[in-house]
Amino acid sequence: MSLSLVPLLLTGKSISPEARQALRENRLQDAGELLMRKYGLTCIEAGHLLDVPLCKESTPFVDQPDRARKKSYRE
């Protein structure tokens, strides 16, 4: 069983309207990418928030979030 933070993100006013709309439409990958770009989250952090894998398997340092900070989903 996993904990989803999506309901909290949907009701929060601190995330961008674009990310909120993507969440409403269940476009979790898009929402994750928006959160990464807008708030500087790593693919690991955004993936944990939305409970979806956002990191490419070839992304180095996937298990080390502090070193993955400069890596993005689209690289």
Which pLDDT band holds residue 73 (cuts at 50, 70, 90)?
very low
- Structure tokens belonging to residue 46: 């955004």
| pLDDT tens sequence across 7-63 | 667 776 778 889 889 988 999 999 999 999 988 989 999 998 888 899 986 555 555
| Distance from C-alpha of 65 to C-alpha of 71, rounded to nearest angstrom | 10
The yes-or-no verdict on residue 70 having pLDDT over 60 is no
Identify the CA nearest to 54 among candidates 69, 74, 40. Answer: 74
CB neighbour list of residue 17: distance below 8 Å, 6 or more residues apart: none
What is the pLDDT at residue 3?
A: 62
The answer to whether 68 and 44 are in contact (CB under 8 A) is yes
Which pLDDT band holds residue 66 (cuts at 50, 70, 90)?
low
